[in-house]
Amino acid sequence: MKNEALQMAKGVRDFGPAEKIARDKILDTFKIVFESFGYNPIETPVIERQELFASKFGIGQESEAMNETFKLNDQGGRDLVLRTEFTVPFARYVGMNPQLRLPFKRYQMGTVFRDGPIKLGRYREFWQCDVDVVGVSNPLIDAEIIELANEVFQRLGLAVEIRINNRKILNAIMDYAGVPEENQISVIISIDKLDKIGIAGVREELLAKEMSEEMINKVLSAISIKGTNNELIEKLRDMIGDNGGISEVDDAIKNTISSGNIVFSPSLARGLAYYTGNVFEVYLKDRSRLSSAICAGGRFDEMIGGFIGGGESFPAVGISFGLEAIFDALRLQNAEFESQRSVVEVYVIPIGNVPIKTAFEYCKKLREANIFADLDVLSRKTGKNLEYASSYGIPWAILLGEDELKENKLTLRDMLSGEQEKLSFDEVVAKLKK
């Protein structure tokens, strides 16, 4: 009979050793690249006040992300949420720490939560890995963010396309189409669904929002322009003029060293209310098996100043990497991605009457040499121990018998080839490190 208690909540997953080791390797890559670009780590709480996220300076009450927020109350009756992303908490952190010297560059990695639809690459508990910088208005820093993203995916071996647009361009399109200011955010949120529901679906949503045919046709014609990046820039300049947004996109593309995979996409909106300038989304070049974005971000120049008040400007830009989608992309691309089933590098097997304490002592010396060692404490036969080490993919075994102790040697066995040789402890360490 099935135990009803042994079930998981929808949209969450367990990860065994092989999966967790593979995921940690991705996180290690993020950390190395983030820190190499000068970003420092911070950590913020999982639980935040609901009004922080619902604010017009947060993700916005009308946004899809706010609708998908897990909401709860504490015993004092306060409205709380599980964080859905890291940008809003980062803005709060900056606002609560006025002593920070600007520019301030930070990264944060951890779990976030959204009660949304579930599919490959999208779950209800998932990891985001963010970099943000506050205090720089120059779009050259936007180019650095794009460069950082390219460096991450190059190291991970994923071919990607980086899409870029600017919220000022979208606002100008709204003005060009005659959309009233109070309706513009709602229309932009519909435009952001173009990839999911197509032109017909966007048209249907805009009709439901009581927009006129003339307004809808102007909006759709502007976001559907085709051509190279340069051609799109010039066509949009002719259509809507340049309120700064087109130049910011142009500057970001021109100043990115690895710009061959950047695509200017006038329909890209990013559905969150807080974006003010350039916005980015990153997709696999081959989207046949994973269609969702694996990385996204943009400028949020008004969020921090809006939370703090007083009219002070805090220009900021950042990008967020979705660990779940990237993990799924790598396992789809590489069948051997999760081949490592244990972090142990060498398994020590005491044989015969060799005291377990002696095996402990050798493990201690191996660990002091920064080698990950484990040992048999169940007094199993040698064959069973070798079978156990093999089942976890441990690459080396040390056989520690009475003969080895007399000769002050260790028998080192290559678990893949089955070859073994007697070596001194120092020779074993040198071989394992090599």
pLDDT (mean) for 399-410: 94
pLDDT tens per residue, range 326-361: 998 999 888 788 888 999 999 999 999 999 999 999
pLDDT tens per residue, range 119-156: 876 889 999 999 999 999 998 999 999 999 999 999 99
- Residue 272 banded pLDDT, cuts 50, 70, 90: low
pTM above 0.85?
Answer: yes
The partner residues of 47 in beta bridges, in order of sequence, read 82
d(CA 413, CA 173): 68
Sequence-separated (6 or more) residues with CB below 8 Å from residue 283: 160, 161, 163, 291, 292, 293, 294
- Residue 309 banded pLDDT, cuts 50, 70, 90: confident
pLDDT tens per residue, range 286-307: 988 888 899 999 999 988 998 8
**In this structure, are strands 396-400 and 410-414 parallel, antiparallel, or unpaired?**
antiparallel
**Structural domains of the chain, with CATH:** 17-333 (3.30.930.10), 346-433 (3.40.50.800)
pLDDT (mean) for 169-191: 87
Among 53-67, 205-219, 398-412, where is mean pLDDT lowest? 53-67
